[in-house]
Structure 1
């Protein structure tokens, strides 16, 4: 006060108002809600409310699980700072209500562009041909495809995890990356191309480098990111992956196009061919562009499937009491199907489905689902008003651990969904792993649900079933029990440094 009076007496009005202006800017920067006119500023805020934006983002990146759970438990609808900026987190019912709105209202593509820094990582923010082909060809074709993928799963696991009489340690995450890339590739590219090291290395490495590059770029102010991208090693590797997949795929694509008009030519029954047939409809004329689409298919499938399968095997190795019931169920299903895995035999493995679904509930790939940017104002039925431009999401991991929805949610219960399905009727359908409803938001909801979940779940079941029937497994490090998950922002991942012990089953044979 004395300093202010001195400035005024001396007539130093410019200096005084300069100090006031600077102080106002600092306060506005550190306490944005004091000046905000946005309706969402009235919603409860969780986390570090005061401080620099980068401090708030770092707080979320290092402590998201606690923030999301605390916010959900206290408020159900709240907001916090995330890597993408301030986000409003909605309750389960509010998110379900929002996801019923058309794409013109809830924009997903803008989230992808921000999340993956698409302009700099060169990731296509939208490839409509991919979900359309999955829905129209891959999912309806699972009756034909599952037996073929099952053969590839068995062959690849046997190659990657040689059966030995003594315990052998394997980094199962790294092994599964190859197993999944090859097995999924048999459905995506065909039984020959899926074994190409160019495909395996590009499909696996591309996702890692796109995600790593985007995370690193977010450490820089937006105006510096184009310059920073020139020096980020992961971004440079993205270009190499694109070049590699082009070298591999373009000759295959051209050969298929040339043979298409040959009398008697039988087209391959895989994703690549289905998309080639649809390419004119989606304006894809360039062979390199079609090759890059295959990288996108790998990006949305290989790492997510690998992480989910790894989590299931970590849960299994930590709970050997499930081995025999699961083996008995799988063996019975195979006997009833004539010894081969089919769509129906996988469906009949209800305990396996329940175990995997419980593993996913406890360790979801992302603790957040339904990220959208609103393209217009939205008034929810509970009275909450969300203005245009708001980033919204739902804390799926917190919802999945709500005692109101699940009894003893912090305890792993592999029979949880099996018991519910035994009731039959609606409960039998609602509690399958692939079912996307408000009881299970892991795959999204309604028309926005992940279209590839049917194939992904089938592939994971094939992997887990083959391992159960042919191997004994244990945790290599038993001192910590089930290996703890790793958390980075809203991502929940298995500890990829951990190993599992494998040996040939003592019986020497599977039950079939």
Structure 2
């Protein structure tokens, strides 16, 4: 899984839709808005029977507001709301109405406390926040599979075979860059977000679906279209009550597009999955060893025994997390949990660990300045704890980019390896410079999320690399 966290601990996205205004939300499904307006009166008077919360609510609705309006307010101004809450409550837990509802915000130090608690579920938080119960969005519930199929395959197979995968990934990177950027030695320009999206889709598909599908234009386009359309729609549904989201596909043409793109992905994958199973069945009938492919299709089949899961749905989910995902240390309580400090987290409660340490100058000097040698200096420290936190895949209270603990991102080792291979090819084979008009200021998008402008362009030209990557021997 690929994740981006800004230097102040807030999630970034590498590719984000630009039409996420409240106006566009209303235009996307006006009938839903009408239904909501009719039900606001009812929803606003529902009183919880679970007892009075023990932690302060940082942004309670005023007398003339509803919880729904506060969720929309967070979508519009989440960064300022979160900053204000931090100043008022310091390192004390507090509740906050965020875009997905009420959430208990824990100080960074709690990352170590809850890191291995399986009663605080990342998978359930994803299913709820990403609308995995809504038709067309079922793939956001795949992490809830009873065998933890995605998590275990990534941990046991994908990470295990990283060294074996280096050569095919490098070969695919070389081919993909020839297709995306060409070999022209004259300066040209590209919208870098689009080009990187293509590159990552190719490399990830090489491992997930094999050496044929990674060059299948129909699959690449369909999986990218699904990724962008579903993520855009999720953001537009964020402030809607979970109990009403199932109605969205009936009223929104954009939600229907998500379903259509998902169906296209399934139609492309189904023959490949059927062919694989037929080859293995034939080998068994003939008393021969079953063919081994060493890709995610193969590993899912091995782990599941071919039963109890939807292969196409799981592959679509993998394509999404490879191309576009944001990971924070959010959890949902599967049952009531009492932490060592005495803090009680009630069943069904949403929690999140604040990533503020990533912008704390006592942890990272001058944290808002890009410093290419920051982590290199950390590796030379005499403090072993500092050294242990200096690596890209390191996790902990001071770096929650990949989460932390038993539910930390299991794919971070693959993501790091894939990124390094891509960077080697990009930097050795091309000269790069900023195009005129490039905007390097981060832009607020929604909630607490920020990103660079997706229209940024870079100039590039092919160069003769000092190291012949294609001629390297892999041992």
| Structure-2-length-normalised TM-score | 0.79
Distance 1:108 1:511, change over 3 A: closer
Where do 5+ consecutive residues of structure 1 fail to align?
A: 1-24, 305-364
1:448 maps onto 2:404 in alignment: no
Quick one: higher RCO (CA 8 Å, sep 6+), 1 or 2? Answer: 2
1:55 maps onto 2:55 in alignment: no
Is this contact kept in 2: 1:39–1:386, CA < 8 A?
Answer: no
Distance 1:266 1:109, change over 3 A: closer
Displacement, 1:45?
0.9
Give the structure 2 partner of residue 432 of structure 1: 391
Q: Distance in 2 between matches of 1:272 and 1:44?
A: 46
Distance 1:46 1:228, change over 3 A: closer
**3-state DSSP of counterpart to 2:127:** helix
Give the structure 1 partner of residue 320 of structure 2: 299
Give the structure 2 partner of residue 277 of structure 1: 302
Give the structure 1 partner of residue 278 of structure 2: 258
**Between structures 1 and 2, the one with greater helix share:** 1
1:134-169 Cα deviation digits (max 9, x unpaired): 111110100100121011112102210124333312
Give the structure 1 partner of residue 97 of structure 2: 81
**3-state DSSP of counterpart to 1:503:** strand
Give the structure 2 partner of residue 231 of structure 1: 251
Is this contact kept in 1: 2:336–2:346, CA < 8 A?
Answer: yes
Displacement, 1:281?
6.8
Displacement, 1:233?
2.5
Q: Distance in 2 between matches of 1:486 and 1:295?
A: 29
Distance 1:399 1:73, change over 3 A: farther
2:84 to 70, 79, 86: 70
Q: Distance in 2 between matches of 1:452 and 1:144?
A: 16
Aligned residues: 413
- Greater Cα shift, 455-464 or 384-393: 384-393
1:401 maps onto 2:414 in alignment: no
Q: Distance in 2 between matches of 1:96 and 1:46?
A: 27
Q: Distance in 2 between matches of 1:381 and 1:97?
A: 8
Give the structure 1 partner of residue 264 of structure 2: 244
Is this contact kept in 1: 2:433–2:460, CA < 8 A?
Answer: yes
Q: Which one has the largest radius of gyration? A: 1
Displacement, 1:442?
0.9
Q: What pairs up with 1:26-425 in 2 under 5 angstroms?
A: 29=44, 37-40=51-54, 42-43=55-56, 45-46=58-59, 51-75=65-89, 76=91, 77-101=93-117, 103=118, 105-120=119-134, 121-124=136-139, 125=141, 126-127=144-145, 128-218=148-238, 220=240, 224-260=244-280, 261-262=282-283, 263=288, 266-280=291-305, 283-284=308-309, 289-304=310-325, 365=326, 369-396=328-355, 398-423=356-381, 425=384
Distance 1:217 1:297, change over 3 A: same
Q: Distance in 2 between matches of 1:296 and 1:384?
A: 35
Give the structure 1 partner of residue 420 of structure 2: 461
Displacement, 1:383?
4.5
Q: Distance in 1 between matches of 2:428 and 2:443?
A: 26
Where do 5+ consecutive residues of structure 2 fail to align?
A: 1-39, 469-475
1:42-72 Cα deviation digits (max 9, x unpaired): 4251476662223211221122223223323
Give the structure 2 partner of residue 314 of structure 1: none
RMSD: 2.8
Is this contact kept in 2: 1:150–1:462, CA < 8 A?
Answer: yes
1:267-302 Cα deviation digits (max 9, x unpaired): 212111111222327523xxxx21221001111222
Is this contact kept in 2: 1:47–1:59, CA < 8 A?
Answer: no
Displacement, 1:469?
1.0
**3-state DSSP of counterpart to 2:363:** coil
1:509 maps onto 2:468 in alignment: no
- Greater Cα shift, 140-149 or 231-240: 231-240
Displacement, 1:423?
3.2
